[in-house]
Structure formats: C-alpha cells, structure tokens
Amino acid sequence: TQLLEQSPQFLSIQEGENLTVYCNSSSVFSSLQWYRQEPGEGPVLLVTVVTGGEVKKLKRLTFQFGDARKDSSLHITAAQPGDTGLYLCAGTNFGNEKLTFGTGTRLTIIP
C-alpha cells in the first residue's frame, strides 16, 4: 500500500505570513494532485503535476513535484483567511490511476 504522509497535520498562522506544506512518500507516483476541502464540501482540485521537478504557480500558491516523484510541496505566500481549509495531496500510480490521498493538513489563517 502506497502511503502519502503530509506535514504538518495542523497549521495555524497569522494573515500575511508564508507557509509550506509537505507531502512525502517512499513510493514513486506517476502524477500528484493537490486539493483543498472546506467543511461540508468535497475536495476541489488546485493543481496536477506530472513531471519530476515540475513547479506550478497558482496566484500566491506554488506547487513543486520532487525530482524523484516521491514528494511534493505547497507554498503559500502572504496567507489570507480565504486560504483556510484542509489541504490534501493525492498521487496516482503508473498503470493504475486510482488516487491515493495523503493524510491532510488542516490550515487555519487567523485574521
């Protein structure tokens, strides 16, 4: 079973600060996706990365896929209260494209 460990599990910071969330595994993934989930709703796709070393930016969010395709990070610059939510990474396997979700990081931005 491939596991995706996210750290930290919980993060509470002040508005305007920067933060990084990590997603790590001992397994290689064919692609990795990041989702954000708000209470009472389903996860919403933020980005998909497929190439080792790939970096994608979405406004204040920067996503990186590790060179070895085993890990990823999400960096948020100047966090805002609207960034509050549960951040989930999810990987797909070569030849078996079901999503394996990470353990999640619950982020709270304090105004």
Partner 1 sequence: KAGVTQTPRYLIKTRGQQVTLSCSPISGHRSVSWYQQTPGQGLQFLFEYFSETQRNKGNFPGRFSGRQFSNSRSEMNVSTLELGDSALYLCASSPRFGVPTYGYTFGSGTRLTVV
Q: Which is nearer to partner 1, 74 or 88 (CB)?
A: 88
Q: How far is the CB of 6 from partner 1 (least distance, A)?
A: 9
Interaction residues for partner 1, span 42-71 (CB under 8 A): 42-45, 48, 50
| Rounded Cα–Cα distance for residues 111 and 32 (Å) | 31
Show the tokens assigned to 3: 């596991």
Neighbours of 86 (CB within 10 A): 16
User: Which residues in 26-45 contact partner 1 (CB under 8 A)?
Assistant: 30-31, 33, 35, 40-45
How do 71-76 and 105-110 pair as beta strands?
unpaired
Cβ at position 13, least distance to partner 1 in Å? 23
Measured distance CA(45)–CA(8) in Å, rounded: 20
Q: Smallest distance from the beta carbon of 14 to partner 1, in angstroms? A: 27
Tell me how far apart the alpha carbons of residues 35 and 43 are, in angstroms, rounded to a whole number. 6
Least distance to partner 1, CB of residue 79, Å = 23
**Which residues ranging from 87 to 106 are in contact with partner 1 (CB under 8 A)?**
88, 90, 92, 96-104
